[in-house]
Amino acid sequence: MTFSSSAVPSFSIDGVRIVFDELSETKPGGLVGWSFVESSSVLIDGVATGVADPSDSPVHPSGVVSIDQVVVMTPSLDRTCGAITAATGLPLKRIREAGGGVRQGFHRAGRVILEVVERPDVPADRPAHLWGVVLIVNDLDATVASWGPDVVGAPRDAVQPGRRIATVKSDVGLGTAVAIMSPHTSSN
């Protein structure tokens, strides 16, 4: 994971660059863009997209070693997944009906899962937006202990069998949902 030295905070992991907007009194901040190694600089259904440097990403002092998922919120799964495929060539791998009118579509960018979530409460005329990111750490318990209970919740079992997850608290003020997760193992 590498961090940008520019005025706008960003980091790169596994060839995906994540850019955070700065917090202010008039806007909540959060993720504002992403980049892919094999992409052109375009908008993907309203999400600013650029070209990433394919350089290796070192382990960050926080223990983060890679990105597991980037979550995109949209009023139209078909529209956003189609835009991702058109801009990146990444096919839609599967769709999951999550209940309550929520649908999830999944693309794969190398080792990173792009999870597109359609929710019925998102106004139909809104563009897609980056909603959150799930980061992989080698030692979840050590990272949670290092960050402390004011920053991150207690680890719990993840949806994926054999994995655990902890969520960064919203009142930390990142402006976007962030979770940290244990790594994949040969059994999961």
Which two structure tokens, joined as six digits, stand for 150?
């004011």
Residues 101-154: pLDDT tens digits? Answer: 999 999 998 888 999 999 999 899 999 998 999 999 999 999 999 889 998 999
Cα–Cα distance for residue pair 172/152, rounded to 1 Å: 9
Domains along the chain? 2-181 (3.10.180.10)
Three-state DSSP class for residue 103: strand
Distance separating alpha carbons of residues 22 and 148, to the nearest angstrom: 23
| CA–CA gap between residue 68 and residue 36 (Å, rounded) | 15
Q: Collapsing DSSP states into helix, strand and coil, what is residue 144?
A: helix
For the chain, first and last CA: distance in Å? 23
SS3 label, residue 1: coil
Q: What is the dihedral of CA 59, 114, 118, 23, to 10 degrees?
A: 40
Beta bridge partners of 44: 47
Cα-based distances in Å from 74 to 12, 34, 86, 100, 142: 24, 16, 17, 15, 34
- The 10s digit of each residue's pLDDT in 139-181 is 999 999 988 999 899 999 998 889 999 999 988 877 889 999 9
Average pLDDT of the residues in 42-71: 73
Question: Are the C-beta atoms of residues 63 and 137 closer than 8 Å to each other?
Answer: yes
DSSP H helical segments within 17-176, as ranges? 77-88, 140-147
Per-residue model confidence (pLDDT) at position 165: 96
